[in-house]
Amino acid sequence: MSGFLESRQSNNERDPFAKKKKSPETKVVKLNADLHYILKTHVAYENDGTTITDHINKAVTEYVKKNNIDPLKK
């Protein structure tokens, strides 16, 4: 009987109808001169222990708001 359960589990792994994890959708924002300048400004003026990822996230958020980009629109 354990052989039946093992074969059933291996079939589920290859089952095309099995539920798949859905990753969040993202939109790629092209890094241009404006965004690069904003990022450099944050790094220069905010020397408070934040990481480069924090600066990038803040710069991208400001850039998206400034240019009225809808991140959910495809």
The pLDDT tens digits of the residues spanning 2-58 come to 555 455 555 445 666 666 655 555 555 566 777 777 766 666 666 666 766 777 788
Res 69: pLDDT: 76
Cα 50 to its chain centre, rounded Å, is: 19
Q: Please indicate, yes or no, if residue 11 is contained in any of the structural domains.
A: no
Q: Please indicate, yes or no, if residue 66 is contained in any of the structural domains.
A: yes
Q: Which one has a higher pLDDT value, 11 or 62? A: 62
Total-model pTM = 0.34
What total number of domains does the chain contain? 1
- Identify residue 46 by its one-letter amino acid code: E
Q: Please indicate, yes or no, if residue 31 is contained in any of the structural domains.
A: yes
Q: Please report, for residues 8, 16, 45, the alpha-carbon distance to residue 33 in angstroms, rounded to integers and kept in the order given.
A: 55, 44, 18
Q: Please indicate, yes or no, if residue 65 is contained in any of the structural domains.
A: yes
Query: Which of 25, 23, 34 has the alpha carbon at shortest distance from 60?
Result: 34
Domain of residue 72 covers 22-74
